[in-house]
Amino acid sequence: MLPLNIRPGTSADVPVIFSLIRALAEYEGLSQAVVGCEAALREHLFGECPYAETLLAEWKGQVVGFALFFPNYSTFLTQPGIYLEDLFILPDYRRQGIGTALLQAVAQLAVQRGAGRFEWSVLDWNESAIAFYQKMGAQVLPDWRICRVAGEALDHLGAACQ
């Protein structure tokens, strides 16, 4: 029996998922950006209208990593896709094939669901992640930049129509 198990997250996993989100934020130097809570995460992952899904990586029965993803859509392909919001493995468990297994599991779901693409973002300073993703067959798109409107700017933009 392999020490690694990949499985869907459940409502009971919300505390460990949230702790992994905090660990990811700390790794990225963004701890102050985690302003959400477990209750909201539970509702958004397992409530009446789920917005995202998770896969958890268990190493010898302990959750040591996760992938959080959700559907998107490509108008050019006229096909659904999957966007990977987060992929994180606790530092002590890296280089064990866990990240590879999580990426493969999400890619398998994308294929099963008829997705035309599977995509995500990576911080430009994270050279080890970029090399890992390229080794897995991903293209890093140099001409694209992420645009984000949040907080007061989102409130202002949303109110502009009224």
Considering 99-108, 138-147, 152-161, the range whose residues carry the highest mean pLDDT is: 99-108
| Predicted model pTM | 0.92
Quickly list H helices, 28-85. 38-46
Dihedral sign, CA of 161, 145, 52, 116?
Answer: positive
pLDDT recorded at residue 162: 62
Q: Which domains does the chain have, with CATH numbers?
A: 4-159 (3.40.630.30)
Q: Is the pLDDT at 1 greater than 70, yes or no?
A: no
Q: Which position among 51, 73, 83, 133 bears the catalytic label? A: 133
* CB of 46 closer than 8 Å to CB of 40: no
Q: What digits encode the pLDDT tens for the residues 65-75? A: 999 999 999 99
pLDDT recorded at residue 161: 66
pLDDT recorded at residue 137: 92
Catalytic, 133? Answer: yes
pLDDT recorded at residue 160: 72
